[in-house]
Chains A and B, each alone.
Chain A
Amino acid sequence: ILNVEQSPQSLHVQEGDSTNFTCSFPSSNFYALHWYRWETAKSPEALFVMTLNGDEKKKGRISATLNTKEGYSYLYIKGSQPEDSATYLCAPRPTGANNLFFGTGTRLTVIP
């Protein structure tokens, strides 16, 4: 079992604000890190798979960085929109495992 922490647990921002949140995970046995966006009653949507220390990935207004040596990843949303409201989950995959270990998620609410 991996101890995966996400902060903050929830976040309210105004439309147009930029925001970021953190995922912390054990740096030993690291293999890959997955980020998901999950809206209620829908499937969790895969955002990024990150593998290398220093990786930066971008999808539209959402980007993520990865530090495998210290065991954290940041997710950034630039110019938040109401449709960005969702729970953002990170899930590391350790070496030798097929499965993902999820954090508790950060619930983002963007206020119009």
Chain B
Amino acid sequence: EPEVTQTPSHQVTQMGQEVILRCVPISNHLYFYWYRQILGQKVEFLVSFYNNEISEKSEIFDDQFSVERPDGSNFTLKIRSTKLEDSAMYFCASSRGLAINNEQFFGPGTRLTVL
């Protein structure tokens, strides 16, 4: 069964460093998402991406964040200058479309630890 994959599973970085989190969405899906969960809090939406551009973003997704689909398979989230409060589990998701009953399929997450 097709699945969303994410690498790495765990990333440790120093405050101020840039990180790139990688995702391979399901191959025939057109919409891609990043969510995150800070420990003990709810899963929060960051950004959605369609047709090579951002379609929606939340207040969390400020200028420090960017997303890219560098080739036909990968979808990346870049954090330019990490802060302690960026420590969280980051989930990538994809969906076939935006129809009312379309599911969003999630990857296993990347745990980002900022020291």
Residues of A bordering B, CB below 8 Å: 4, 31-32, 34, 36, 41-44, 46, 49, 51, 89, 91, 97-104
| Given A31-B100, A99-B48, A99-B56, A42 contacting B108 (CB threshold 8 A) | yes
Question: Mind listing 8 A-B residue pairs with CB under 8 Å?
Answer: A32-B100, A43-B107, A46-B105, A49-B102, A98-B56, A99-B58, A100-B45, A104-B42
The minimal Cβ–Cβ distance linking B83 to chain A, given in whole angstroms, is 21
Given contacts A46-B103, A46-B105, contact A102 B42 (CB under 8 A): yes
CB distance from A26 to the nearest CB of B (A): 15
Give A5 Cβ to nearest chain B Cβ, in Å: 10
Number of interchain pairs (Cβ within 8 Å): 54
B107 proximity list for chain A (CB < 8 A) = 43
What separation, in Å, do the CA atoms of A18 and B45 have in the docked complex? Answer: 32
Whether A46 pairs with B104 at a CB distance below 8 angstroms is yes
Point out the residues of chain B lying under 8 angstroms from A89, CB to CB: 43
Task: Give bound CA distance, A70 to B1, whole Å.
Answer: 36
**A32 pairs with B4, CB closer than 8 A:** no
List the A side residues contacting B55 at CB < 8 Å: 98
C-alpha spacing A89/B48, complex, angstroms: 20
Minimum CB distance partner of A49 in chain B: B101
Residues in chain B near residue A31, CB distance under 8 A: 100
CB atoms of A43 and B100 under 8 A apart? no
